[in-house]
Amino acid sequence: MRNFVLRTISSIFLVSFAFAVVYVFPSWMFCLFAAIFVAFGQLEFFEMVEKKNVFVYKYFGTVAGALIPVVIYVGNSFPRMTNLEPILIVGASLFTLTLQFLRRDNAKDHLVSTALTMFSLMYIGWFFSFLVKIRLLDNGANLALFLILVTKSADMGAYAVGSLMGRHELIPRISPNKTKEGTLGGVLISVLTAMVLGKILTHYPAAHLVVLGGAVAVLGQIGDLAESLIKRDCGVKDSGVYFAGIGGMLDLVDSLLFTAPFFYFYVRSL
């Protein structure tokens, strides 16, 4: 019960913070906060990986990942620089492999080290940066807030329903606390939230809102499970300790890493 209260308080604070960042601050500040979130998420990921005794260039990876939302914003502001995003991602990935040449030890983990660094750039840096792409769309502030609230409503719904009514474990070998009842509850609450907020924040018809609510809930919970898989493999409970009842930065944004790319492409297809 105490964890539920702490999680609820943290979630209310963070949603309020998201509202301020989306509506009060200019778009470049939204980009700056996205870069900060990515940087902390990358560092947490690399610190978890180091617990498996895998060598990574964590500071290079952290800086490269945090630059992705920045170059997306710059590319949107200066049309002649629209190719910065793929250039940065490809360049950082190639440089990650090149850095392995500088190691003096007779290491056996060059491939693993390179793959994990490149994976982190995609999984955290690039995927989270789709929030910046969404913010820069027409009606982007409303769309960004819609995505954040629907995604987090699914998280909180799954946690609340699972805590109160959960009886059947979902995938116990990955996350023993997640239940099938909680998953279903998260989907239903996400759809309801999308239906209500969609009438206020978007112009989409009800059919699209139902699809978005259901898809965001499913993808968000897959994102949550994916991070749980990573944590279990690294032998840690939480990625960090920044948010009471939640954990670290990756624990906070894991569902958004999966929902943001989907939502961006769905919106662009309408």
pTM score, whole prediction: 0.91
- 116 close to 54: Cβ distance less than 8 angstroms: yes
Per-residue pLDDT at 48:
93
Label the pairing between strands 175-179 and 169-171: antiparallel
Domain of residue 190, residue span? 2-269
Of residues 143 and 5, more confidently modeled: 143
The three-class DSSP label of residue 241 is coil
Neighbours of 174 (CB within 10 A): 17
| Number of domains forming the structure of the chain | 1
Q: Of the given ranges (62-66, 117-121, 232-236, 262-266), which has the lowest mean pLDDT? A: 232-236
pLDDT in tens, 247-266: 788 888 899 999 999 999 99
Please give the structure tokens belonging to residue 75.
Answer: 């590319």
Given a contact cutoff of 8 angstroms between Cβ atoms, the answer to whether 212 and 151 are in contact is: no
3-38 tens-digit pLDDT: 666 666 767 777 788 888 888 888 899 999 999 999
| Mean pLDDT of the 64-70 span | 96
Contact 125, 65 (CB under 8 A): yes
Residue appearing with tokens 């910065």: 84
Residue 101, pLDDT > 90, answer no
Query: What crossing angle do the helices spanning 249-269 and 127-135 adopt, rounded to 10°?
Result: 50
